A and B are shown apart, each in its own frame.
Chain A
Amino acid sequence: MAYSDKVIDHYNNPRNVGQLDKSSSEVGTGLVGAPECGDVMRLQIKVNPDTQVIEEAKFKTFGCGSAIASSSLATEWVKGKTVDEAMQIKNTDIVKELSLPPVKIHCSVLAEDAIRAAIGDWKKKNGVSEAVGAEALAVR
């Protein structure tokens, strides 16, 4: 399989590899995928409680080059965004940015799921309901 230059770049130099303190109330953790499917992503965000801005993001991924690149890119993109802005990241944006071929679209879907799962975890920890998030979105 031929990879795009951007996939190769993320594979060679993955951004934001690591882990954040899962027990912190400011940290949301998303663990998606399954080993038997050949990909597992763990994406974590650290959210500023006052501004709701994602100040830090870390990932680790078991999966093919495209899965690694998708999650690496996702950490880059969520950083500096508010949680509501980050919720708007779509898998199709990732597909476009990385020029993923059709057989690799599921990697981008998984990355989107990972972002949503991490934000969902953070919201649950902090008692933020989905409705409030949607409302904030509407106001903006």
Chain B
Amino acid sequence: MSNIENGSVAVPAGVQLPIYMDNHATSQLDPRVLEAMLPFFTSKFGNAASRNHSFGWEAEQGVETAREQIARLIGATAKEIIFTSGATESNNLAIKGIAEMYKERGKHIITQVTEHKAVLDTCKRLEKSGYRVTYLPVKADGLIDLDDLKRAIDDQTILVSVMFANNEIGVVQPVAEIGKLCHERSVIFHTDAVQAVGKIPVDVNAMNIDVLSLTAHKLYGPKGVGALYVRRRNPRVQISAQMDGGGHERGMRSGTLNVPGIVGLGAACEIAREEMASEAARLTRLREKLKTKLESALDYIHVNGSMEHRLPGNLNMSFVYVEGESLLMGINEIAVSSGSACTSATLEPSYVLKALGLGDDVAHSSIRFGLGRFNNEAEVDYVADKLIDIVQKLRELSPLYEMVKEGIDISKIEWQAH
């Protein structure tokens, strides 16, 4: 058997290793964003809350420009944007802040099972303090059933929190329909739109979104800065602050603003707004190429989640009969991630993939590709070739692949779980 890692796939011209293809985890800072930020690290260092000197005014101007840029990208007004440290804080502030503010109206919250932990664990904490939470299931394609949502809303429901696009499988939920339903029933609709903003069109008014979480580092901005959109009209949404302090951000989020970060978030949103259409088309083409190449060379592989309702840059595939971590080990100069238990801290396979009804064995075999702004076609070709090579080699090593090829039904074997 030939050497697995340093296999037969040559690195073509135009490809520099390592290749970053994990853009759902984080993305590379766009140099144009960095350029916009730099002055706010040096000469424009003022506190945006200083109202009585030019240093403060300069910083405030940077912040207010960013607020406009973010609002424009999602169809909001600048006053509806609250700055935070990132999406985990935005999700916590939204869900806990609404739960606290509206507890007299009711104590029922609806979310769904493939949310990020920042939403799921926040809801679990609220359950401990007397709130009732409904976790909607997803269908095999990763999308919720709107009829399930309809049935789940009752007269105690104050909030529906459903993510815009999933971070693992990239599926895009029927957000506009969810928003319409929520408004008909006078329920606040929050969406964690971290993966969607800047990638696909988001319009808080057309989609009836009341509260929306976003973060800079998923759209080629800096880490450590995010925002929460909070609707001011039809209806006006109120949120209880979760930190006490100087009353910044209309009293909803105290703390001196991270001015360079905020300026970076604004610049990232501005670039995304201008380039979204062409970038989405390019990434969709690259993603399809990757998928087609893999599918034409390998058997027993399949896509996890809906292909129709999906982010342009996302591909999540299971390479059955090959374990995900061993696959990653063979492509260690390509940065992607796996739903395998062995790559997680908990040793549990991905709960998102399991929610689709996939068996643990298929979840263990999954790879998430996250294509982004800085990936090119040569990289896609190389990644596909390399992956095909490694999967074939690992399948030569796989007793399961051998049995299946010999016509043995491995689901009928009595395995000894350990």
Measured between beta carbons, the chain B residues less than 8 angstroms from A113 are 418
Contact residue among A33, A62, A103 (Cβ-Cβ distance under 8 Å from B418): A33
Q: Say whether B321 contacts A62, CB under 8 Å.
A: yes
Q: How far is the CB of A63 from chain B (nearest CB, A)?
A: 5
Q: Say whether B5 contacts A32, CB under 8 Å.
A: no
Question: What range describes how many residues of B lie at the interface?
Answer: 35 or more
A57 CB-CB contact with B under 8 Å: no
B276 CB-CB contact with A under 8 Å: no
Q: How far is the CB of A38 from chain B (nearest CB, A)?
A: 4
Q: Say whether A62 contacts B398, CB under 8 Å.
A: yes
A4 CB-CB contact with B under 8 Å: no
Which residues in window 75-108 of A have CB below 8 A to B? 103, 106
A70 CB-CB contact with B under 8 Å: no
- The 0/1 profile, CB within 8 Å of B marked 1, for residues 28-60 of chain A is 000111111111111000000000000000001
Measured between beta carbons, the chain A residues less than 8 angstroms from B415 are 33-37, 40
With A38-B364, A62-B398, A63-B323 already in contact, the answer to whether A32 and B6 are too (CB < 8 A) is no
Identify the closest chain B residue to A107 (Cβ): B342
Secondary structure dominating the interface of B: loop
Question: What range describes how many residues of A lie at the interface?
Answer: 20 to 34
Q: How far is the CB of B401 from chain A (nearest CB, A)?
A: 8
- Which of A13, A34, A103 has the most C-beta atoms of chain B within 10 angstroms of its own C-beta? A34
Q: How far is the CB of A114 from chain B (nearest CB, A)?
A: 11
A126 CB-CB contact with B under 8 Å: no
Measured between beta carbons, the chain A residues less than 8 angstroms from B413 are 31
Q: How far is the CB of B409 from chain A (nearest CB, A)?
A: 12
Identify the closest chain A residue to B321 (Cβ): A62
- Which of B323, B361, B399 has the most C-beta atoms of chain A within 10 angstroms of its own C-beta? B399
B3 CB-CB contact with A under 8 Å: yes
Secondary structure dominating the interface of A: mixed
A8 CB-CB contact with B under 8 Å: yes
A17 to B1 CA separation, bound complex (whole angstroms)? 8
- The 0/1 profile, CB within 8 Å of A marked 1, for residues 187-206 of chain B is 00000000000000000000
Measured between beta carbons, the chain A residues less than 8 angstroms from B35 are none
- The 0/1 profile, CB within 8 Å of A marked 1, for residues 382-410 of chain B is 00000000000000111111100000001
Q: List 8 A-B contacts (CB under 8 A).
A: A11-B329, A12-B3, A32-B418, A35-B361, A38-B361, A40-B415, A64-B340, A67-B323
Chain B residues proximal to chain A, CB less than 8 Å: 1, 3-6, 321-323, 325-326, 329-330, 340-343, 347, 349, 359-361, 364, 396-402, 410, 413, 415-418
**Contacts A17-B396, A64-B323, A65-B325 supplied; 13 other A-B pairs, CB < 8 Å:** A11-B4, A14-B397, A31-B399, A35-B415, A36-B359, A36-B361, A40-B400, A42-B399, A62-B323, A62-B397, A62-B399, A64-B342, A68-B397
Chain A residues proximal to chain B, CB less than 8 Å: 1, 3, 8, 11-14, 17, 19, 31-42, 60-65, 67-68, 103, 106, 109-110, 113
